[in-house]
Amino acid sequence: MSEAEVSGAELSGVEVLGAEGYGPAAELDARDELAAHRKDFVLDDTVYLDGNSLGALPCAVPARLAEVVAREWGEMRIRSWSESGWWQAPERIGDRIAPLVGAAEGQVVVGDSTSVNVFKAVVGAIRIAQADDPARCEVLVDAATFPTDGYLASSAARLTGATVRAVRAAEMGDAAGPATAVALVNHVDYRTGELHDLPAATAAVHRAGGLIVWDVCHSAGALPVELDASGADFAVGCTYKYLNGGPGSPAFLYVRRELQPRFDSPLPGWTSHADPFAMTPGYAPAEGATRGRVGTPDILSMLALEEALKVWDGVDIAAVRAKSLALTDFFLRRVRAYVPGDRLRPLTPQAHERRGSQVSLLCDGGPDGEHAPDAETVMAALIARGIVGDFRRPGVLRFGFTPLYTSFTDAERAARALGEAVSEA
C-alpha cells in the first residue's frame, strides 16, 4: 500500500460518500494492511488519540513483566544479571530500536530519560566540535523545541563555556556557521506536529562544520527516521510515545559509529566502563554504544519496553508512514466538514513532507478572536465523549495518530465529536 494509493482512496471515498456514517472510514479500515496490528494492543471503546504522549499497552507486556518479576527477580534474583541477560539489556534493546530510526546495530543504547540523554549528546557534541576547532562555542537550539531540550542544552553550554542561540528549525542550516559547535533540533515539533527535514538540515549544519543532535521523540515509530543515511551525529528519543514502552520508559541515545571513539560522556557511570567489574578508581570508557550508559539499568521498565517493541516485528515503517498520512489527511478533511466556521485552525502543515503523525488544531476565532473556543474546555468535552487527545497551552488541541492501532473509524468519530464539542463550547 503506497502513500499515493491510500491518499487517493481516502480522498475519493470522502468525496463520494460525504460525512454521514462511518462508511468511508470503514471502507478505508477494511483496506488497511496494518489493521491486524490493532489486536496487539489493549484498547476499548475509547478513541485514543494520545499515543503521541503515552502509547497504548501492548497485549504481551503484562505477562512478560509478571515473568520478569516473579521468576527473574523473585526466584533467580542476583543471578539474573548474567543468566537472564539483564546486563546487556541496554544495548540489546537499543538494537531493537535501531531499525526503526534507520540505524545499523551497535549505535543505540537504552537508558535514562530523554532529558539526561540530551545532556550527554549536547556535551558530547560540543567536546568533539571544540577538539577540532576551539572557536566553535555556540549551541543552536530549535526555537520551538520541547522545553526540556532547551533547558538541558543551556546547562550543557553553561558547563562547557559555550553559548546558546535559539533558531527556528527550518532556518538551522542557514544559521550554522564557523562558531557553531552543535545544533539541537526536534525532528517533529511537539506542539504543531511539523516535520523538519532531517537529511537537509544535517547536511547544511555539516557544511558549516558543526554537529547535529536530533530529538526524535515525536518521530520514532511514526515515520522513517534515516539517521545513518543522513549522517546524523547524535539522536535522542523517548520510548513511551509511538514505541509504546510504558509511562516514563527509558529513553535512547544514538551516537554515529564514526563518532563513538570520540564520544566523551559527561555522565561516565560505572556501567559504561570498559571493565565495570574491575571496580578501578580510574575511568576507562567502553567502546561502542555502551559508552552512552551511565548507572545500573532499570530492568523492570527496560524489559517491559523490550516486550513492547516486539509489535514491530515484520512491520514496514514505510507502510506506517503511508497510513499515518492517510489518517491525518482524513482527519483534517473530516474536521473541516464537522467543525463550524474558522474556529479551529490547523497548525500542522498540509504538505506531507512537513507533517508528522499528529494533528494540532489551534482554537481560534478569526482575526478578532472573539469566537475562539477554550481548548481545555473542548478537550474535556471530547474526553467526556470518549475521545482522548490532549491540549497544550495556549489553545492547542493535539491528536496523535498511531498507525499500528488507530483506525479511520477512530478518526471519523473524533472529528464528529470535535464538531459537537466546538459547537457547544
Q: Is 380 in the site for its own copies (CB under 8 A)?
A: no
Any idea what the Cα angle at residue 264 is, between residues 296 and 123, rounded to 5°?
Answer: 95
Query: Footprint of its own copies on residues 57-96 (CB under 8 A)?
Result: 57, 61-62, 65-66, 69-70, 72-75, 77-81, 86
Q: Which of 119, 234, 240, 263 is catalytic?
A: 240
Which DSSP symbol is given to 75?
A: I
Interface residue with its own copies among 119, 252, 263, 408 (CB under 8 A) is 119
342 noted as active-site residue: no
User: Judged by CB under 8 A, does residue 390 bind its own copies?
Assistant: yes
Stretch 34-53 residues interacting with its own copies (CB under 8 A): 42, 44, 48, 50, 53
Residue among 90 and 102 whose Cβ is closer to its own copies: 90
Least gap, CB of 353 to its own copies (angstroms): 26
All cell numbers assigned to 73: 527477580
The reply to whether 314 sits near its own copies by the rule CB under 8 A is no
| Residue 398 is among the residues annotated as catalytic for this protein | yes
Which of 5, 178, 261, 283: binder of its own copies (CB under 8 A)? 283
Q: For residue 400, what are the β-bridge partners?
A: 358
Rounded-to-integer distance, Cα 191 and Cα 211, Å: 25
> In Å, what is the CA distance from 218 to each residue of 60, 116, 129, 143, 235?
24, 17, 27, 16, 12
Residue 120 annotated to the active site: no
Specify the residue, 53 or 130, whose C-beta has the smaller distance to its own copies. 53
d(CA 143, CA 146): 9
Burial category of 130 from C-beta neighbours within 10 Å (exposed 0-12, middle 13-18, buried 19 and up): middle
Q: Is 39 a catalytic residue?
A: no
Q: Which of 191, 343, 398, 413 is catalytic?
A: 398
Residue from 266, 349, 365, 386 that binds its own copies (CB under 8 A)?
A: 266
Q: In this complex, which beta carbon is closest to its own copies, that of residue 28 or of residue 185?
A: 185
| 112 or 197: CB nearest its own copies | 112
Phi then psi dihedrals of residue 123, to 5 deg: -65, -45
Give the footprint of its own copies on residues 163-222 (CB under 8 A).
166, 191
The packing angle between helices 114-132 and 147-160, to 10°, is 40
| 30 vs 77, beta carbon nearer its own copies | 77
Interacting residue with its own copies among 114, 202, 230, 358 (CB under 8 A): 114
Residue 155: alpha-carbon gap to chain centroid: 23
d(CA 55, CA 39): 14
Identify the residue among 30, 36, 279, 351 touching its own copies (CB under 8 A): 279
Say if residue 394 is preceded by a cis peptide, omega within 30 of 0: yes
Residues with active-site annotation: 146, 215, 240-241, 398
